[in-house]
Chains A and B, each alone.
Chain A
Amino acid sequence: MSFITTLIKRGRSRLREVARRQGRRARDFVDETESEALAVVTVVALSLVAALVGFLLVSALTVVPLATFVVATVYGWFRHQEVTARVLTLTTTVSTLLILGLIIVFIFLESIPIVRYESATVFGVTVPGLRLFVETRWDAVSDPVRFSMVPMIHGTVMVTLIATAVAAPLGVSAALFLSEIAPAPVREVVKPGVEILAGIPSIVYGFIGFTILSPWASDQFRLNGQGTYLFVGIVVGLMALPTVVSVAEDALSSVPESIKSGSLAVGTTDWQTMTSITLPAAFSGVSAAVLLGVGRAIGETMAATVMLKGVPRLTDPLYNVFYGQETLTSIIARNYGDADGLQMDALFIAGVILFVTVLFISIGSQYIEWRMRRQFGGDV
């Protein structure tokens, strides 16, 4: 307990310190700036906040503070460019944060009703949203109406596992090729190729998968109907490949050249240097790359929507990869049109699960990259 209290105390004093520093900086800013410029900046800030509030409240009068903001900004730009530029850039930074905040608030708010509806009682305690994860029934029409997320989570896990099995080894190997092996002219061809691969729209992958791969798979494996997790996973893996390649390549080329040369100087082959020096040194960066690839695969929507069956249920048996039912992303894209009320909220809870998972993956991979940067000292 005492450990936690110390931690809280330390956090509090740290916060107070930061607040004090920020307060001092703000006071300095007020002292240093001309009073007229200060007034302009205040008008800019206040009108922008008012416009945001108006927009959030769906007011037709939003245009008034917006116009004030524009006028004040134009005036400030010509009279006090230095201060205005600074405030404007600060505003843009804050609005980036604001967008993430709004995304969190809005998708969570929309999903509250379904969490309430799908409450379940365990040992006399009502746990909101529990039934979303313990039942497997999704039926929006016939009684009992249930919106279980289990089939979709199963689908997303299957697709992501297969996609990772495709993207991780191929991606890391391609990154090794680009960063360590390829002669310059070859790299100049392969690297834009990988980038273009990232640019091919997911719906085009989905279209080719739908018209070519799915019928082919149904024929080869004697399946009933179209759509398999196996091939959706492979296609999604190919789509996640460029992410893995480019991040892993950055990590590999950030290993200082001196370390590699040192290894080569003792008479190892290039491949020995790669496996015993470069890859271990860049291991955390490479795993961050794979993690980001996993994040991409989880969030991939259109190829899954077009290629899967669209019937939310578990496959039988669970590891049957030859049938593809539904993933968290595809259920949203497929059902948003005719969804209403609770069903729409259920789509939002799918969005929340996706968002939270991918956010954790993103933060995790950033932490790993940060550790790697620290390991090699500041200048990487």
Chain B
Amino acid sequence: MAGATRSTLANQETSGTDLAAAAAIGLSTILFVLSVASLAEQLSITGSISGVPTVTLLGGLLVLLGGTVASFGVSSRLGYVETNADHSAGLIAAVAAGIPWFLIGGGFASETLGLGAVAGLAVGVLIGGTAFAATAFPREDVGSTVPIGALSIVTGLVFLTSVLGPEWVWDLGWEQTASLTAEFVIPVLTLLNAMYAGWAAAKAYGGFGARGRHVGAYVLVYLNALSIVAFLFVLVAFTVVRGIPGLLTGAEFGWGVGPGTTVGVGGFGFTLSLPFSVPFVMNGVALMNDFQGVLPAIVGTIWLVVGAVLFAVPLGIGAAIFLTEYAEQGPFTQVVEIATNGLWSTPSIVFGLFGFAFLIPRFGNSKSLLAGMLTLGFMLLPLVLITSREAMISVPDEYRDASAALGVSKWQTIQSVVLPAALPGVVTGVILGVGRIAGETAPILLTMAGGTFVPGSQTADVIGGFEFIASPPFVTNPELLQATSALPYQLFALITAGVGLGENVANPEEFRWATALILLVVVLSFYAVGIATRYYFRRKLSYE
């Protein structure tokens, strides 16, 4: 679609001037990167780049950028450059240009000149209004470039003249003290200016007019999408890099180093052992361990997920079947729908409170694995219901009619036609929902978790825990009824436990990051499986 409106007529003989606008876009990209780098402390404000002090460099580039943008607009107005400018840049551009100028004017009058808030407001309105008028009233090529170009030039000059140098600090004078420092203000101002000027330059590159605004908007929208993906990538990569050393502490690879089991075949005993040993995920915490690990938390997370799925999936799918297949669409289904959506948006900590008030007194008055399972099950239920219902609604009615025409009963139709057709959607929804609850901390905080370091001996063994007793309720499982740990809780406990984790862990910082990494791996693998399942089914369905 994006290419469909590209008009070759509008681009005739503008290649040289295109170059100027493209150079401005490139310049703002460089400034954007530089300011992000200095916010991330990869680039020091007080330092210098190849001999030039950073602030001077940023200021110089900003003046250059502002000058290019503004002069492009002016030369278009004077007819040196051929563009399709409209008669006005429009309201959005005018407001966008007015706001920074209002802030500059107001800040300058009230703080730098010390005239106070009222005078600051007046000057701010005056200057902001001028910028607004300068954008809205001239022809678009001048209006959308000159006020914004001037903004960059002024900012650049402020940097160059060291009015706002590397040592600049502004104490806000509040009761709870806070100051704005050059380390923060300079990169942020540069960033904003780069985005503004980049936007104006992109409009100029498109030759103003409808097409120019199209290009300008697309640059910002693409930048946003790119930033989101980059943010995700940086977040995951950062956790991986920080977490790997802790994860591999004491890890060994090679034949027979891992924990093994002995299998007896015909009188001979074979010892099978894994070809690797990673103590971090295979050990608990104990005094005598060489390396400490988080095995109980991993097992706890797995059992939590299993319990929540066993509780929520039958309930959710059953309710979805009733709502789509049996129930008459009316007030009742509407109420259920509102209730489900309400349940979906209920904060997780409220589920925790509910579990604390409702489940804990009923399971022996102490935190337990079972209470955690059920609480997470309550959270998972609306997700399963909503996604299953969507999947069932999207099964075409022809399928149902064809099956009914064969004379089978309704339940048989549901069982052998609707459910199989809806299965892909249901499965994907369940997996994504599980990924979500596996990382939840707040609900299990109040219902299940206890202890920062859990000894390996306390690793939950639910299957082996069932016991029969003579008095009601006849079946008990102490494993289900005692507190255990889970990865998200473990991470929370490690954070709140402070810096000194005691003698137990040699390097607490590495231990924490490794826990975060394992949690991320567990949760994201659910997501990866969910998304892969969706692709698999979609491809399969599109071939049929």
Residues of chain A having any CB pair with chain B under 8 Å: 18, 55, 58, 60-64, 81-82, 85-86, 88-93, 95-97, 99-100, 102-103, 106-107, 109-110, 170, 173-174, 176-178, 180-183, 186, 189-190, 192-204, 206-208, 210-211, 216, 220-224, 238, 241, 264, 268-272, 292, 295-296, 298-302, 305-306, 315-317, 320, 322-323, 329, 332-333, 336, 347-348, 351, 354-355, 358-359, 361-363, 366
Choose among B229, B322, B356 the residue that contacts A92 (Cβ–Cβ < 8 A): B322
* A332-B352 in contact (CB<8A): yes
Q: Which 6 pairs across A and B sit closest by C-beta, in order of nearness?
A: A299-B347, A201-B439, A92-B318, A89-B322, A63-B473, A316-B175
Choose among A64, A203, A211 the residue that contacts B488 (Cβ–Cβ < 8 A): A203
A-B contact pairs, 10 of them (CB 8 A): A60-B472, A85-B411, A92-B322, A103-B346, A173-B225, A176-B221, A186-B225, A222-B177, A241-B228, A329-B347
* A329-B495 in contact (CB<8A): no
* B341-A272 in contact (CB<8A): no
Residues of chain B having any CB pair with chain A under 8 Å: 1-2, 4-5, 41, 169, 171, 174-181, 183-184, 210-211, 213-214, 217-218, 220-222, 224-225, 228-229, 231-232, 235-236, 238-239, 314-319, 321-323, 325-327, 331, 335-354, 356-358, 361-362, 378, 381-382, 385, 409-411, 414-415, 432, 435-436, 438-442, 445-446, 471-475, 488, 491-492, 495-496, 512, 516, 519-520, 523-524, 526-527, 531
* A100-B339 in contact (CB<8A): yes
Choose among A107, A202, A211, A317 the residue that contacts B175 (Cβ–Cβ < 8 A): A317
**In the complex, chain A residues whose CB is within 8 Å of the CB of B339:** 96-97, 100
* A208-B41 in contact (CB<8A): no
**In the complex, chain A residues whose CB is within 8 Å of the CB of B474:** 63
Give the docked Cα–Cα distance between A14 and B231 (Å): 54
* A207-B315 in contact (CB<8A): no
* A174-B239 in contact (CB<8A): no
Give the docked Cα–Cα distance between A206 and B439 (Å): 12
**In the complex, chain A residues whose CB is within 8 Å of the CB of B1:** 180-181, 270
Q: For A25, give the chain B residue with the smallest CB separation.
A: B328
CB distance from A232 to the nearest CB of B (A): 14
**In the complex, chain B residues whose CB is within 8 Å of the CB of A295:** 345
Asked if A302 meets B343 with Cβ closer than 8 Å, knowing A199-B524, A366-B338, the reply is no
Most buried by B among A61, A85, A296, A316: A85
Asked if A317 meets B174 with Cβ closer than 8 Å, knowing A107-B353, A299-B349, the reply is yes
Choose among B218, B225, B325, B527 the residue that contacts A199 (Cβ–Cβ < 8 A): B527
Asked if A102 meets B340 with Cβ closer than 8 Å, knowing A199-B523, A270-B1, the reply is no
* A99-B472 in contact (CB<8A): no
* B411-A82 in contact (CB<8A): yes
* B239-A103 in contact (CB<8A): no
**In the complex, chain A residues whose CB is within 8 Å of the CB of B440:** 201-202
* A361-B345 in contact (CB<8A): yes
* B214-A220 in contact (CB<8A): no
CB distance from B404 to the nearest CB of A (A): 14
Choose among A200, A270, A329 the residue that contacts B520 (Cβ–Cβ < 8 A): A200
* A203-B519 in contact (CB<8A): yes
* B488-A201 in contact (CB<8A): yes
**In the complex, chain A residues whose CB is within 8 Å of the CB of B436:** 198-199
Most buried by A among B5, B218, B350, B435: B350
Choose among A96, A186, A195, A270 the residue that contacts B340 (Cβ–Cβ < 8 A): A96
Asked if A106 meets B357 with Cβ closer than 8 Å, knowing A89-B318, A177-B221, A301-B347, the reply is yes
* B235-A302 in contact (CB<8A): no
Asked if A207 meets B491 with Cβ closer than 8 Å, knowing A103-B350, A292-B345, A301-B349, the reply is yes
**In the complex, chain A residues whose CB is within 8 Å of the CB of B357:** 106-107, 109-110, 348
Asked if A320 meets B228 with Cβ closer than 8 Å, knowing A301-B441, A348-B357, the reply is no
* A336-B347 in contact (CB<8A): no
Give the docked Cα–Cα distance between A174 and B222 (Å): 8
**In the complex, chain B residues whose CB is within 8 Å of the CB of A182:** 225
Choose among A178, A269, A300, A355 the residue that contacts B5 (Cβ–Cβ < 8 A): A269
Q: For A205, give the chain B residue with the smallest CB separation.
A: B235
Choose among A95, A109, A200, A362 the residue that contacts B439 (Cβ–Cβ < 8 A): A200
* B181-A222 in contact (CB<8A): yes
Most buried by A among B322, B438, B523: B322
* A201-B2 in contact (CB<8A): no
Asked if A96 meets B336 with Cβ closer than 8 Å, knowing A91-B318, A201-B488, A203-B441, the reply is yes
Excluding A61-B472, A302-B488, 4 further A-B contacts by CB distance (< 8 Å) are A64-B472, A106-B354, A270-B2, A359-B346
CB distance from A63 to the nearest CB of B (A): 4
**In the complex, chain B residues whose CB is within 8 Å of the CB of A316:** 174-176
CB distance from B202 to the nearest CB of A (A): 12
* A173-B224 in contact (CB<8A): yes
Asked if A336 meets B445 with Cβ closer than 8 Å, knowing A203-B491, A221-B184, A306-B495, the reply is yes
* B348-A301 in contact (CB<8A): yes
CB distance from A115 to the nearest CB of B (A): 16
Give the docked Cα–Cα distance between A268 and B4 (Å): 11
* A272-B488 in contact (CB<8A): no
Give the docked Cα–Cα distance between A211 and B488 (Å): 16
* A207-B343 in contact (CB<8A): no
Asked if A222 meets B217 with Cβ closer than 8 Å, knowing A102-B358, A106-B354, the reply is no
Q: For B357, give the chain A residue with the smallest CB separation.
A: A106
**In the complex, chain B residues whose CB is within 8 Å of the CB of A99:** 343, 378, 381
* A358-B228 in contact (CB<8A): no
Give the docked Cα–Cα distance between A210 and B492 (Å): 11
* B211-A358 in contact (CB<8A): no
* A354-B410 in contact (CB<8A): no
**In the complex, chain B residues whose CB is within 8 Å of the CB of A180:** 1
Most buried by B among A61, A177, A181, A199: A199
CB distance from A348 to the nearest CB of B (A): 6
Choose among B175, B210, B231, B473 the residue that contacts A269 (Cβ–Cβ < 8 A): B210
* A193-B520 in contact (CB<8A): no
CB distance from B149 to the nearest CB of A (A): 22
**In the complex, chain A residues whose CB is within 8 Å of the CB of B2:** 181, 183, 270
**In the complex, chain A residues whose CB is within 8 Å of the CB of B350:** 103, 107, 299, 351, 354-355
Choose among A95, A211, A329 the residue that contacts B349 (Cβ–Cβ < 8 A): A329
Give the docked Cα–Cα distance between A359 and B356 (Å): 20
Give the docked Cα–Cα distance between A320 and B385 (Å): 42
* A302-B353 in contact (CB<8A): no
* A58-B362 in contact (CB<8A): yes
Give the docked Cα–Cα distance between A178 and B224 (Å): 11
**In the complex, chain B residues whose CB is within 8 Å of the CB of A298:** 347
